[in-house]
Structure 1
């Protein structure tokens, strides 16, 4: 009995479909991590993360996917092109905009410091590398290789091992003053790409303004803190930092920080900003604890082995969190899949 073959047109469609399926399978085998290994620099907070937190503005897609800035690896010999380093080769073009005042700066200092990544998928890793701008770089020109010292000031080689979802490298940060940019690169194993984050940091000393003095809290509620400080001669504005992350600017000497969690301690500092956008040294640290019970501890304790979906609530380190989407093993921070709730 002769076999019945498909008609020529159908046969051609089947062959094409089979070829596409085979190609997709090969891509998945050869590059298993390119579509799911995502992450961003969390500390110091990256430019894109501050976009997500509505501290940096006019960021377009970077505000929604700070973890997705992906470019060829191999910097400085390879990697993103000059002028497109911050955007990871135009993944998020807005991030390439560069002036001395375009981006919020995070207070930072030289010496032994932890640098931490939030990884959405902690795949096999080649290395974490960190570069910093030269002391005399031009903050009003696009970021290029000439902007940076091209020898990493810190590098951690994992040689194919998988890091934790919140991975910290202890680095010896070189001495700088004023506004600088840190370029952080996470290179995956078995993939041609790396994830790129830049952080805008201020080492102080970039401005001749005095640091704000007499930082106090004048009002504290369950979910807000009002701060006051003494005026600084020559300051055009003030940058307020909570837990070392910029949360807002003001032209007055008072600022109210809202959206906080009850019965939780926060640290605050304030820096004065001059007319060229340079920041003074930070004020003395003020620690404030919000009032009220707020239900802290009423949800199950977060577990690294439990699968959570959007809407699941947990308690971690005496703070309540709610999952935005499916997650497992991702430590709650309030800046990732987990959002802080009362």
Structure 2
């Protein structure tokens, strides 16, 4: 079983697993503004079972899931306790907001670049009397989520296909009664690790008589995707007043206005092997904007028709003789037939195109290896390589090894650190210096000598 989590040290490789892109989360807005890079956007991860405060808990539905790590402390919920993005925890009403109404459904879309079996998604919202000038804390939310989407298959290792969420994953979240500014926390709970992903969405609840806007366009689709164009189509919108035009937004920036009654547009300004996100709003003759449609994300193929490079190659853990690798899937004009794994520049393994992880075994202890992955499609076209990942196997000596960053530790493992010997009490991967023995609240290690 894997117990991995995204990197909390921005200088190391980040798994970059997922985020909410529609409506734009607080982290996504920061990414659009250049305040977060791709890794930091997707590493809003901490322990699951919020609003609990301690780790080591069993899942109430699936007791065979990996035990939880400690959830983020009060005041660090929006950042998930990560140093990168700590500014997301600032109190105040200055955050960009989405206009909503009580009782309507909010379409929420998650993107995953390297996903895990999903146990559930939980949605919390601030209490009616919350104070936005105080940091987000457990006292600002109810004890239970107001909306939950849950997968009941268990144990998780018997149902990998049923539990693996598609990307994007979309939920219609019915909003409770609120007025004015409120913060929604969306949490993606993972089955095969102790972690969950945290995304804050800032909402401005309008009174019914304050908004007379059109309905959002539906069924936005992307098709005819090449390295030079993306075609968008959608269903016409309706509202209290006639629709004047549709405004298409790409990657957070308005792209074009399409006069009604047209319901399609071809974006001819795209680049090869690039990720694009689109959503569309309807605007009526009085200038009222609808809520945005569900967003769609597409990645354009390479210029020569080859598949895109595998995404975000990272280690899921290592021992003294093996390294577990995982990456995000490639796409292209033809199905992916195989992924080729390269170690130190030489091809060492090949796996099927529907597999995005592999264990490389028979390695030498205490040794650094460099990995990359390429995708091969049914037409025999080979992608560019993924990022190059450097990983060191654990020490194989009889003595207790020194604690290391990016190492996989099981319960009972012993390490030396700061002149003392420590025993692991919670399985994890050491993704940040703050996870070292003796640091923080010592929820991972106990001193033995």
Name the TM tier (shorter chain).
0.5 to 0.7
Structure 1 contact 48–63 (Cα < 8 Å) conserved:
no
Distance in 2, Cα, partners of 1:132 & 1:45: 16
Give the one of 96, 99, 103 matched to 2:92.
99
RMSD: 4.4
Structure 1 contact 114–168 (Cα < 8 Å) conserved:
yes
Distance in 1, Cα, partners of 2:112 & 2:38: 17
Between Structure 1 and Structure 2, the one with more helix by share is 1
Q: Does 1:81 align with 2:73?
A: yes
Encode CA deviations 1:201-248: one digit per residue, 9 max, x unaligned. 112249x98989xxxxxxxxxxxxxxxxxxxxxxxxxxxx96699958
Distance in 2, Cα, partners of 1:32 & 1:64: 15
* TM-score, normalization by structure 1: 0.54
Distance in 1, Cα, partners of 2:206 & 2:249: 14
Q: Does 1:136 align with 2:136?
A: no
2:182 maps to 180
Structure 1 contact 46–197 (Cα < 8 Å) conserved:
yes
User: Which secondary structure state, in structure 2, belongs to the residue aligned with residue 203 of structure 1?
Assistant: strand
1:197 maps to 199
2:281 maps to 267
Give the one of 19, 31, 35 matched to 2:3.
31
Distance in 2, Cα, partners of 1:83 & 1:138: 13
- For residue 122 of structure 1, report the CA deviation from its aligned partner: 2.3
Encode CA deviations 1:74-130: one digit per residue, 9 max, x unaligned. 1001311111111101342011112112x1112223333332211112211121111
Q: 1:203 to 1:314 in 2, by over 3 A?
A: farther
Distance in 2, Cα, partners of 1:142 & 1:86: 10
2:432 maps to none
1:309 maps to 309
Structure 1 contact 131–182 (Cα < 8 Å) conserved:
yes
Q: Does 1:71 align with 2:46?
A: yes
2:288 maps to 283
- For residue 327 of structure 1, report the CA deviation from its aligned partner: 9.0
Distance in 2, Cα, partners of 1:114 & 1:286: 10
Q: 1:211 to 1:168 in 2, by over 3 A?
A: closer
Aligned length: 225
Q: Does 1:123 align with 2:116?
A: yes
Structure 1 contact 121–165 (Cα < 8 Å) conserved:
no
Structure 1 contact 40–67 (Cα < 8 Å) conserved:
yes
Q: 1:39 to 1:326 in 2, by over 3 A?
A: farther
Q: 1:158 to 1:244 in 2, by over 3 A?
A: farther
Distance in 1, Cα, partners of 2:331 & 2:112: 21
Q: How does 1:144-183 map to 2 (within 5 A)?
A: 144-159=137-152, 160=156, 161-183=163-185
Q: For structure 1, list consecutive stretches of 5 or more residues without a partner in the other structure.
A: 1-28, 213-240, 249-256, 271-281, 288-297, 316-324, 329-342
